[in-house]
Structure 1
Amino acid sequence: MIKKLDILVLRSFIGPFIATFFLTLFVLILQFFWLWIDDFVGKGIDAFTMLRLVVYLSATLVPLALPLAILLSSIMTFGNLGETFELVAIKSAGIGLLRFMLPLAVVAAFLSGLAFLFNNYVIPVANLRMKTLHYDIVNKKPAFDLKEGVFYTTIPDYAIKVSKKENDSILHNVIIYEASTGPQENIIAAEKGIMRLSSDKRFLEFILFNGWRYEERGNRYANNTDFIRLGFQEYKKVLDLSSLTFIQTPDSTYKDRYEMLSTRQLSKNVDSISKSLARFRDRDIRDLQGYFTFSKYLDTGWIDVKAPPVKKGARFIDLLPDSLKMSKNDQVLSAVKQTVVDQSISYANSIKSTIEGPSWDYDGKRKELRMTMMTYHEKITMSIAVLVLFLIGAPLGSIVRKGGIGTPVVFAVIFFVIFFLLNNFGKKFVKEDVLQPAAGMWLATAVLLPIGFFLIYKALHDSQLFNKEFYFRLYRGIKRLIGKKNSLKPQPAQPS
């Protein structure tokens, strides 16, 4: 049954939570655009496309913004109640801290489950849409922007330069270089021109006046070529702008990547990749069987036969067959020895080249398996992080007893940075094959969960963990103890 105390706590929590969640999400979005702003500027991206990118990006950043919002809002909630002495009044009424935390713990558990569903079903779709849209925007060429005195080379096979523009359409001293298969590029030079787009905006038309067209025909490696110079009073040149249009990549291009899959699909991928890795051993045995001819005798009936021992100090000639021992020609023995060495090196190189290709495939499969398992565990750990950071924020706020956006923000940033670094370290260790995917992705939870239990223990016992007066009194006591100890030491005798 919900009591008035639970309603009080929930009302105190919901406002800071909504505010901090959207503020955190806004900061993370700004960080993304700060890194990629150079790839978006000057490409003529319409507002609707940018809005789509922001929506998809916001969805992908929710798993990171939600734990920080829970941490900060829980610190602010319990800090405000402690600062206004409401927490003291509740404790004096015989209500313990755990009972006081219960409604928010239920909310945190609910948000944790909601976060898992969001990570499992919404994030893959958002990742897929954002990946394709971001790729299209980054690879889109800049919008057409012809500047005075500067060669414009964005349109493939063309370089355009004008000395002056009037009203963005009237051009003076126009030069157009056109790449060709001939000995050199074709050149068009005109005193004046008019630039305009076609009705469907797919072509750029230049109406040029009083100029020349220079063209050289023939094979560039031949000595005989034809040079053509054409004078004109009016000339129309049409350029294709299809390379500057925004082309949307189909979603099916990235649909099989591990970031775009749910836990069920990831689990199936793990099984299939594990089975393919198990087949590599049989494949290597089959490929190397032709080189290791003795392997066909490796069965249950194999008799352990040892080679005769080689005498200490034996020469190479002693190991040769009797037919070669009869030869007294050192050149023959040297040639035989070199032949054996060369054949051995060739044999080893053949074996190396045979196993090198499969080894690269094996490493690629192992990396794919690690990344798939990492994504699987990440969906769980990022949802559990909501509950873990609440277990840190709630007791921390009751210990600090400071509300507002001052002290709570400092502590929230510190613990979130610890969580963020540990999570990134875990990912890095998994990618570099230092840790197993489960160990790497649960690293942050394994470190922060004991800290949360420690803070709950301190809060239950009204600890002065963050009270500066407590540390000042402790410092004075230690200083007084050291002074008393020094006074008890025997003083050196003074010379008479």
Structure 2
Amino acid sequence: MISKYIFKIFPTIFRNIPIIDRWLLGQILPPLIFAISAFTVVSLSVGVMIDLIRKVVEYGLPFQLALQIMFLKLPSFLVLSFPMSVLLSTLLAYSKLSSNSEILALRSLGIKNTRIIIPALVLSIFMTGLTFYFNNSLVPLSNKYSEVLLRGGLSKSVSIEKGTDIFFKGYGSFTDPETNVSTKRKTFRNKIFFAREVENNVMKNVTIIDFSKIGYKQIISADEGIFDSNKSEWIFRNGRMITLDKGGNTTSIGFEKYFYPLGDGPLKVSKIPDDANEMTLSQAFEARKIYKEIGDVKEARKMSVRIHEKFTLPCACLVFGLIGSSLGSKPNLRSSKSQGFGLSVILILFYYILSFVSSSLGVKGTFTPFLSAWLPVFISLSIGIYLLKKASV
């Protein structure tokens, strides 16, 4: 029934589609809509709804505001639901056709399995594009607005810290103060910069640990720090500098203003979202560029992995569409909704565990960013092609 209404909405598009494809799409679309609704409601309830109800009851978050926040969180859960729904819908649709001997009837007419699953693959490609659009454009924006609404609503009854912790690792040379000889390598971490918050490019509650001089450790703490772009140095105000020398002697000096030679790396890092999932693709490229400029190889490699995952996450729709349709079109396969759901959960769990392990190895440096992100896709596509060949026998 649902597919009939969809066909009425887009009559021109579906009129140009071959009858067999229209019929197969009509079998896939109803379970797809059901699966998207089911997965989204379950994940949204567990991930957001329970927490929002607690904030409404305990902290006085306005109910209307909670509904708006839940609506803004919806795209992030749809991104997760789309691939799983493609798997479940194709598995259920083709299993039903197989159990009713309709797949067998099509094959008796000379139609191969590769032709039968084409509508599922086309729909999977469409869902891949839709997932990419949601994940790259809607999710970062909607999550940002939901966070602003949540903070604004809770500020009436709960004190929320405005700033974010900025942690910057400086890379450079180590200098021997006795010989004044420097050992220059970009992989040497010689400074650690921490600020409690940043507001209008002003760092507040700043702490720096500097061990660029061999045998000496220097700790600088200040109420605030401002970057002077003309001199490429920081101006710290109202602070104290503690120096520990080789002999274990400690020197402490207070200051009202102190000039410290460090680039604008901390300022750039403060503008990078904490979670790569909250970035658009262009922001992720910019973040990787910043990490490369400041010499943070590990974070740059991690961002490269996340950039590739911006593409591989939507590709899960294509992977699951191929596996679901190939597995479902096997002759004499009988699968109820409950069995289909259980099998989908197992396949999804396998895919995401594989993705997590591969991604971790990529961040660690064992795999290249490209291989770590795309390996689960290649393995799963190989499994899907194998299942398709088995179903065609």
- With the length of structure 2 as denominator, give the TM-score of the two structures: 0.61
Alpha-carbon distance change, 139 to 263 in structure 1, aligned in 2, over 3 angstroms? same
CA contact (8 A) 1:42 1:142 kept: no
Alignment correspondent of 2:297: 366
Q: CA deviation at 1:261?
A: 2.7
CA contact (8 A) 1:67 1:389 kept: yes
Aligned match of 1:392 in 320, 323, 329? 323
Q: CA deviation at 1:75?
A: 0.3
Alpha-carbon distance change, 34 to 433 in structure 1, aligned in 2, over 3 angstroms? farther
Alignment correspondent of 2:20: 5
CA contact (8 A) 1:430 1:440 kept: yes
- In the alignment, does 2:86 pair up with 1:70? yes
> Partner letter of residue 412 of structure 1?
S
CA contact (8 A) 1:53 1:134 kept: yes
* Higher share of residues assigned strand: 2
Alignment of 1:41-56 (within 5 A): 41-56=57-72
What is the root-mean-square deviation in Å for CA atoms of aligned residues?
Answer: 2.7
Alignment correspondent of 1:184: none
Alpha-carbon distance change, 428 to 129 in structure 1, aligned in 2, over 3 angstroms? farther
Q: CA deviation at 1:256?
A: 3.5
Aligned match of 1:102 in 101, 118, 124? 118
Superposed CA deviations along residues 134-192 of structure 1, whole A, max 9, x for unmatched, are 5566777469xxxxxxxxxxxxxxxxxxxxxxxxxxxxxxxxxxxxxxxxxxxxxxxxx
Alpha-carbon distance change, 38 to 62 in structure 1, aligned in 2, over 3 angstroms? closer
d(CA) in 1 for partners of 2:365, 2:157: 38
Alignment correspondent of 2:382: 450
- In the alignment, does 2:29 pair up with 1:14? yes
Q: CA deviation at 1:267?
A: 1.9
d(CA) in 1 for partners of 2:45, 2:26: 30
Structure 2: give runs of 5+ residues left out of the alignment.
Answer: 1-15, 160-268
CA contact (8 A) 1:269 1:372 kept: yes
Alignment correspondent of 1:294: none
CA contact (8 A) 1:132 1:254 kept: no
Alignment correspondent of 1:380: 311
> Partner letter of residue 19 of structure 1?
F
Alignment correspondent of 1:261: 279
Structure 1: give runs of 5+ residues left out of the alignment.
Answer: 144-252, 278-364, 462-496
Alpha-carbon distance change, 382 to 448 in structure 1, aligned in 2, over 3 angstroms? same
Alpha-carbon distance change, 91 to 265 in structure 1, aligned in 2, over 3 angstroms? same
> Partner letter of residue 397 of structure 1?
G
Alignment correspondent of 2:44: 29
d(CA) in 2 for partners of 1:370, 1:137: 37
Q: CA deviation at 1:425?
A: 2.6
Alpha-carbon distance change, 87 to 32 in structure 1, aligned in 2, over 3 angstroms? same
Percent identity at matched positions?
Answer: 24
Alignment correspondent of 1:424: 356
Q: CA deviation at 1:32?
A: 0.8
Alpha-carbon distance change, 142 to 120 in structure 1, aligned in 2, over 3 angstroms? closer
Superposed CA deviations along residues 7-55 of structure 1, whole A, max 9, x for unmatched, are 1101111100001011101111122147746862411111221112211
- In the alignment, does 2:49 pair up with 1:117? no
Q: CA deviation at 1:426?
A: 3.4
Alignment of 1:267-286 (within 5 A): 267-277=285-295
- In the alignment, does 2:13 pair up with 1:82? no
- With the length of structure 1 as denominator, give the TM-score of the two structures: 0.49
CA contact (8 A) 2:62 2:153 kept: no
Shift >3 Å, 4+ stretches: 33-39, 130-143, 253-256, 426-437
d(CA) in 2 for partners of 1:389, 1:36: 31
d(CA) in 2 for partners of 1:138, 1:378: 33
d(CA) in 1 for partners of 2:362, 2:50: 25
Alignment correspondent of 1:229: none
CA contact (8 A) 2:49 2:70 kept: no
Alpha-carbon distance change, 370 to 135 in structure 1, aligned in 2, over 3 angstroms? farther
Superposed CA deviations along residues 239-283 of structure 1, whole A, max 9, x for unmatched, are xxxxxxxxxxxxxx9973143332223223323322332xxxxxx
Larger-gyration structure (1/2):
1
Alpha-carbon distance change, 75 to 378 in structure 1, aligned in 2, over 3 angstroms? same
d(CA) in 2 for partners of 1:61, 1:274: 32
Alpha-carbon distance change, 19 to 442 in structure 1, aligned in 2, over 3 angstroms? same
CA contact (8 A) 1:20 1:73 kept: yes
> Partner letter of residue 346 of structure 2?
I
Alpha-carbon distance change, 87 to 28 in structure 1, aligned in 2, over 3 angstroms? same
Alignment correspondent of 1:169: none
Aligned match of 2:333 in 381, 398, 401? 401
Q: CA deviation at 1:435?
A: 4.1
d(CA) in 2 for partners of 1:433, 1:263: 22
> Partner letter of residue 45 of structure 2?
L
Q: CA deviation at 1:93?
A: 0.9
d(CA) in 2 for partners of 1:367, 1:419: 25
d(CA) in 2 for partners of 1:379, 1:123: 12
* Count of residue pairs the alignment pairs up: 265
d(CA) in 1 for partners of 2:283, 2:23: 43
Q: CA deviation at 1:433?
A: 5.0
Alpha-carbon distance change, 133 to 434 in structure 1, aligned in 2, over 3 angstroms? farther
